[in-house]
Amino acid sequence: MKNHIKAKRLEKNVLQAQLADAIKCDKRTISRYETGDRAPSLEIAFRMADFLDINVDELFELDDN
């Protein structure tokens, strides 16, 4: 799965720390989500989308593989 978390966060001028505070997680976790080292749970994905005022499908896309 490919994610657009960083791009969408930057479009909204939101720092990693701000997103982390909003969804109740650590800033390092946001970094890991953005690099693809870790995948957020469905609940966290919805919280991120809600905070960024976008749809979840704008944050993620399935790979063709």
Residue 54: its pLDDT value, please? 97
Residue 9: its pLDDT value, please? 97
pTM of the model: 0.90
Write the DSSP assignment of 41-55 as a string of letters.
-HHHHHHHHHHHTS-
Spell out the domains of the chain, with CATH numbers in brackets. Answer: 2-53 (1.10.260.40)
- List, for residues 14-57, the tens digit of each pLDDT value: 999 999 999 999 999 999 999 999 999 999 999 999 999 999 99
Rounded CA separation 43/64 (Å) = 24
Residue 65: its pLDDT value, please? 64
